[in-house]
Amino acid sequence: MSPSSSQPTFASPDSAGPDSVVASQVAADAVAFPDDDIDAVHPVDPPSGNGPRSSSDGGGFLHAIVFVVVMLAMFINPIEPKTSAEFDRATSSLNVLTLAKLAIAAAASGLGGIALLVSPRTRQLLGSLPGLGLLALGGLFCITSLFAIQSNAMISRASALIFVGYLLFTAMALATLGPRRMLAAIVAGTSLYMLVTWGLFVLVPEMGTFEEYISATETVQRMGGTGHPNNIAKTAIAIGLVSVAMYLGRTNSLISVGVRGPWQRLVLIAIMVLAAATVVATLSRTAMLAGMAAGGVLLIDRLYGRGGLALGIIGIASAAGLVLAISLFTGEGPFSESAVSAVTKSGDVEELTSLTGRTTIWEEAIGLIALRPLTGYGMDSAASVMSREATGTHNLLLHVTFSAGVFACLLMLLMLGWSLVFGATSPQEWIRTVLTYVLVSGLVEDTIIESFPTTLTILWMAALLAPALAGRSQS
C-alpha cells in the first residue's frame, strides 16, 4: 500500500520504512498533546517526502473514532450491577446495558476487521508470536464454544466472538493511535467508570454498597454497585499502575507512554489518588498485594543507588510500624487472635490459610474440569455450573481451562510464560507492570478474559502486541 492510497487513515505503508512509522506516531500525538510536550516525546525531525498525511484530515477523524470507542468500552464494559453475592447468579439478558456493550463490541469488531484487511501495521502486530498466540487462543474459544453446555451455549459463543473482535480492535488501536494515546483513552474511560462507582457508593449507598457475608450472621460492607468489589479493585489497581507508568515512564521510543506536560501529570496524580481510594473502599487484599508486586516491578529500574536504599528502608520501617501498631491496638502479639481480626474480615485465621475459601473453590473447579477436560463448559459458564459460593474459579489457568479445555490452558500457559520472560523484563514500564499484575493476580483471581473485555484484558493484549510495533520501526 502506498502512502497516497485510498486508505491513508491507518498510516501504515510498508514502503515508507521507519520514517513513516515515526511520523504516524507524531501525527497521532499532536492531537492528544498539542503543546511543546510532543517534542519531548518524539525528538525527531519530521521526515520529508511521501510520509502519511497529517492527523488533521481523514486520519484525524479515524483517530478520534478509535479513541472514543476505546474510552466507551473501558467505561461501559466493566459495569455489572452488584449489591450482594446473589447478583453473581444472574444470567445475561438483553437490557439496555447489555445492548450498549454489544453495540460497542460490534463497532470495535468492525473497525478491527477492516484494519485487518487494509492495514499492514495491524497485520504486523497480529503476525508477531504473541499476536499469533492470542489469535490461536481466540480460535480455541470459538471452536470449544460449539460444545458449551446448553444453558450457556449462546453466551459462550458470543463471548468467544467478542474476544476475537476486541483482539483485532486492540491491534488496530495500537497501529492507529500508538500506545500512548491508546493508554490515554483507556485511562479516561476507566476513570469515568470509577467516578460512577464512587457516585453510587456515596450518593446512593443502597445501590453502591456490596454486602458480603463473612459468616452465617455477619456481613461486611464493601464498595460495589458497578461490579463485584474484587473486579472494581482489579480495574482500579490496573489504571493506577498505568498512570504511574505514564507519569514516570520513558519518552524515547515508539512504544513509550511517558508524558511530561504539567497539566497531564497533574491529571495523572488525581487518577492515582482516585484509584488508591477505590482499592481501599473495596477491601480487596488480593488486589492490593498483586498491585504492590506489580508496582515493585514497575519501579525496579529506579531502586538502585541511594534512592532505592531509602525506599527499601522506608518499606521495611513501614511494615515494622504496621506490626507494632496492630500489637499496640490489640494489646497482644502480631499473630494473636485479636491481631488476626485486624487484618481479616471475619477474624478467623482460617480465612488466611484457605485464601478466603479459594482452596475449596479450586478443588471444586478441578473436579468439574475432569468431567469435560477437552472442551470445558464454555466462556462465562462458571457462575452457572459451580456452586453458589464459588461463582468463578479464582485462578486464571483454571478459568481458561474451565472455559475451553486443557489445550486452551496449555496455550495460556505459553502466553503467561512469554509474559514472564519477555514482558516482565521489558524496558517499558507500562508493559512490565501490566504483565506482572496479570501474572500475580492470576494466581488467585480469574483476572482477564471476560465476556466483554475490560481494562486489564485490553491492557494485557496491548502489552503483548506493542513490542512488535517497535520491532517494525527498526526493520
pLDDT at 375: 92
User: Can you tell me the distance from the alpha carbon of 414 to that of 247, in angstroms, rounded to the nearest whole number?
Assistant: 31
pLDDT at 286: 85
- What are the DSSP calls for 418-466, one per residue? HIIIIITT-SSHHHHHHHHHHHHHTTTS--S--SS--HHHHHHHHHHHH
pLDDT band of residue 474 (cuts 50, 70, 90) is very low
pLDDT higher for 199 or 55? Answer: 199
User: Can you tell me the distance from the alpha carbon of 176 to that of 72, in angstroms, rounded to the nearest whole number?
Assistant: 17
What value does the mean pLDDT take over residues 143-155?
92
* Residue 260 and residue 114 in contact, taking contact as beta carbons nearer than 8 Å: no
- Tens-digit pLDDT profile for residues 226-273: 988 999 999 999 999 999 999 998 888 889 999 988 999 999 999 999
User: Can you tell me the distance from the alpha carbon of 23 to that of 38, in angstroms, rounded to the nearest whole number?
Assistant: 12
Q: Scan for cell 452488584, then name that residue.
A: 82
pLDDT at 211: 83
- Tens-digit pLDDT profile for residues 51-99: 334 444 567 899 999 999 999 999 999 998 876 655 444 444 568 999 9
User: Can you tell me the distance from the alpha carbon of 307 to that of 391, in angstroms, rounded to the nearest whole number?
Assistant: 44
What value does the mean pLDDT take over residues 167-172?
97
pLDDT at 329: 56
* Residue 271 and residue 277 in contact, taking contact as beta carbons nearer than 8 Å: no
* Residue 140 and residue 412 in contact, taking contact as beta carbons nearer than 8 Å: no
* Residue 107 and residue 455 in contact, taking contact as beta carbons nearer than 8 Å: no
User: Can you tell me the distance from the alpha carbon of 366 to that of 375, in angstroms, rounded to the nearest whole number?
Assistant: 14
pLDDT at 22: 40
Of the candidates 271, 253, 251, 252, the residue with the CA atom closest to the CA atom of residue 261: 251
pLDDT at 346: 45
- Tens-digit pLDDT profile for residues 110-138: 999 999 999 999 999 999 999 999 999 99
Query: Which of 166-170, 421-425, 444-448: highest mean pLDDT?
Result: 166-170
User: Can you tell me the distance from the alpha carbon of 366 to that of 343, in angstroms, rounded to the nearest whole number?
Assistant: 29
- Tens-digit pLDDT profile for residues 378-400: 998 888 888 777 678 889 999 99
Distances (CA, A) of 384 to 33, 117, 378, 435: 46, 38, 10, 29
